[in-house]
């Protein structure tokens, strides 16, 4: 992955690493309106399915902590 691509993944909310979808998250969402397979998401984010699951679990845990903090 190039430095430009890494920067785009980190800063552009619509950018994904997938020429198939014109590097656009919006286009990927059009193709998979009811949810996208993990292997497609992992490839678009230039990561592994295992890393994707770890990230997902961290996000869920953060959201749970924030929801409980407001109680």
Question: Of the candidates 62, 41, 60, 63, which has an alpha carbon nearest to the alpha carbon of residue 52?
Answer: 41
In this prediction the pTM is 0.81
Answer left, alpha or beta for residue 41, where phi above 0 means left and psi between -120 and 50 means alpha: alpha
Query: In terms of pLDDT, which residue wins out, 71 or 59?
Result: 59
CA distance 33 to 28: 8
> Domain spans of the chain?
3-69
Name the percent of the chain lying above pLDDT 90: 92
**3, pLDDT greater than 70:** yes
């Amino acid at each position: 992955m190039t430095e430009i691509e890494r920067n785009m993944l980190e800063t552009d909310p619509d950018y994904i690493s997938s020429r198939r979808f014109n590097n656009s998250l919006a286009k990927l969402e059009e193709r998979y309106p009811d949810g996208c397979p993990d292997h497609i998401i992992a490839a678009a984010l230039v990561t592994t399915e295992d890393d994707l699951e770890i990230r997902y679990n961290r996000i869920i845990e953060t959201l749970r902590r924030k929801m409980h903090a407001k109680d």
